[in-house]
Structures are given as structure tokens and as C-alpha cells.
Amino acid sequence: MALNLIVLGPPGAGKGTQAERLARLRGIPKISTGDILREAVQAGTETGRQAKAIMSRGELVSDDVMIRMVQERLDRADALPGFVLDGFPRTVAQAAALDGIMRERDPLLVVDIEVPEAELVRRLSTRLVCGDCGANAAGGDTVCGRCKGQLVQRPDDSDGVVRERLTVYRRQSAPLVAYYRVRPTFRSINGAQPVDGVFDDLAAAVDALVAGIATPGARP
């Protein structure tokens, strides 16, 4: 059975790190919206060219273009044994479209990483990124582990901006989490613990979901 997983969570929950770690453990690709956009643009696909034109005008890529790019990416051979999606879907409309894409495939599993707002603000307002390549710094780093560039605070990681980003996230994500929460293929885990503890809970949640897929009604 293919492991088709969506990892949800607010900014600062560490979902990208956890998604990448689980994907590496299971030998399946971790797919983020940023990865999809870059690859589609670089490959010069029709959808990629449309996305490039939209972004060059300073506009956001629309749902229909993003959905087409996701479908193209999930149709690639390396994603057939499974995948971990990070950053998609972001809206109920995208989630419904993803259900359509997955109709003839194994069920989607969804894990939401929950972290209290105060902890998210603390994490994000103290987060450092590389000023050259943009990579997030690991705890204790003094230079970028990827390119040795200087670490800086992102302009949008100031306390006030962080709180506004979280408010927007909660408003936009609440319907999405509600969309998935009623399914037997959904779990939430505690993200307010050390990284290894979060990963252990994520892996355990995935194992429990896989074990329960044979239960009637597991497929969305």
C-alpha cells in the first residue's frame, strides 16, 4: 500500500522538518508547494510557464494552476509508492481537488501538528535563517549549515508580524482542519515538545493510520 500523507501545521510547528524526516525514513518524496513551483518552472512545462508568468507579475499562483502542478508532480513515478505533502492543500477547495486526484489511489492520511500560539511566537521570533540561501538554521548554529552564509532574522519574524501571520493561518486553516478531522484517516499530535518527541508521535500516528485503513469507511 502506498503511504500518501499530508502534514498540516502552523508556521513554526516544524512540519517541513518532520515531513522531510519521515519521507527519508519511508523512502518516499517530500513534496512542498515551493518545490513544485520551482521544478515546474525549471522543467518548462505548460503549467510551469503559466506559473512563471503569474509570479513575474507579482501575483499569487491561483488554485487551479497550483492544483494542476500538484497533479503533474504526483503522477511522476517516484510518487507512486507514496509521498509526504507539506504546504498543500492550504484551502478546502484545494483539499477537494486533491481528493479528486487521489480517487483511484490509496487513501490520504492527514496528521496535524498542534502547537500553542505562545510557543509559535517564541520559536518564530527567535528563528534565524541564512541571509544567502534562505535555509532555516538549526538550533545552536552560528553559520548556515548548507552554504556557510551569515544567519539573520527574517523581516516577517518580528513579534507583531508573527502574531498577524498566525491569526491569518488560524482563520484560513480552521475550515481545512475541520474538513479532514471527521475522517478516520486524520490524527493530531502535540508539536510543543522536543523535535525527536514530535517525530516519534508523527511516526506512531502514521503507523496507527496505516493499520486502520482496512476499517470500513477509511477511504475518503
Q: Catalytic positions, please?
A: 15, 90, 127, 154, 165
* CA dihedral over 51, 52, 53, 59, signed as positive or negative: positive
Phi, psi (deg, nearest 5) at residue 65 = -70, -45
In this structure, the strands spanning 3-8 and 82-86 are: parallel
Do residues 99 and 108 make contact, with C-beta atoms less than 8 angstroms apart?
yes
User: How far is the C-alpha of 94 from the C-alpha of 60, rounded, in Å?
Assistant: 15
In this structure, what C-alpha cell is assigned to residue 89? 492543500
Residue 138 CB contacts under 8 Å (≥ 6 apart), including other chains: 145
Q: Which residues of 48-85 are buried (b: 16+ CB within 10 A; e: fewer)?
A: bebbbeeeeeeeebeeebbbbbbebbbeeeebeebbbb
